[in-house]
């Protein structure tokens, strides 16, 4: 995909020397990725996320007593 167009966004929480940054890359023209074992998901704890998902009629799933929201691509 690197021969094609792409864009990158960085999202950080707190100062970069003591916190983390998530890099989101969008590859134009790529419409599907196979789910594999290279990326399992990203967890962000939020007191609002389930409330907002319910308000948007987004399906809320539960596994082993924990509720989560699944992305359209199947990531949890």
Give the separation between CA 6 and CA 52, rounded to whole angstroms.
Answer: 30
Residues 6 or more apart in contact with residue 64 via CB below 8 angstroms = none
pLDDT one digit per residue (tens) for the chain, 76 residues: 567 788 889 888 888 889 888 888 888 888 877 777 666 677 777 879 899 999 999 999 998 988 888 877 776 6
Given this model, what pLDDT does residue 51 score?
92
Q: Kindly report the pTM of this predicted structure.
A: 0.47
Give the separation between CA 52 and CA 30, rounded to whole angstroms.
Answer: 29
Query: Half-sphere exposure (CA, 13 Å, Cβ side) for 40?
Result: 1
Given this model, what pLDDT does residue 1 score?
52
| DSSP-derived 3-state class of residue 24 | strand
């Amino acid at each position: 995909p690197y021969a094609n167009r792409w864009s990158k966004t960085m999202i950080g929480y707190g100062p970069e020397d003591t916190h983390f940054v998530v890099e989101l890359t969008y590859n134009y023209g790529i419409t599907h990725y196979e789910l594999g074992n290279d990326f399992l998901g990203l967890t962000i704890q939020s007191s609002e996320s389930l409330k907002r998902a319910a308000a948007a009629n987004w399906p809320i799933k539960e596994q082993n007593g924990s509720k989560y929201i699944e992305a359209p691509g199947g990531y949890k």
